[in-house]
Amino acid sequence: MTDSKTTSASALQPRGMSVGAAARNMGVSPGTFRKLVRLGIAPAPLKIPEIDRNFFDRLAIDAAMNARTVSA
């Protein structure tokens, strides 16, 4: 049986994130996150010119982190 609070929280977690939210997701500061994007370690934002916003894809960030995880 799954915990309803856990299920609700993960179901409501947004996929598109601001730079601050993306940085928190990775556990770094926004400045460090921007540096990781420049270095190609973190994925670039999805640019949406119609609303003049950039969003970071939570799943792409998770995939980038998984790709760099070293198995023991």
> Domains, the chain, ranges and CATH?
15-68 (1.10.10)
| pLDDT band at residue 69 under the 50/70/90 scheme | confident
Instruction: Return the pLDDT at 3.
Output: 54
pLDDT digit string (tens) for 28-67? 999 999 999 999 999 999 998 899 999 999 999 999 999 9
Reference 31, options 42, 65, 11, 57; nearest CA is 42
Kindly report the pTM of this predicted structure: 0.75
Output the CA–CA distances (angstroms, integers) from residue 69 to 36, 42, 62, 72, in the order listed.
15, 13, 11, 9
Q: What one-character DSSP code corresponds to residue 39? A: T
Instruction: Return the pLDDT at 2.
Output: 53
Instruction: Return the pLDDT at 31.
Output: 98
Instruction: Return the pLDDT at 66.
Output: 93
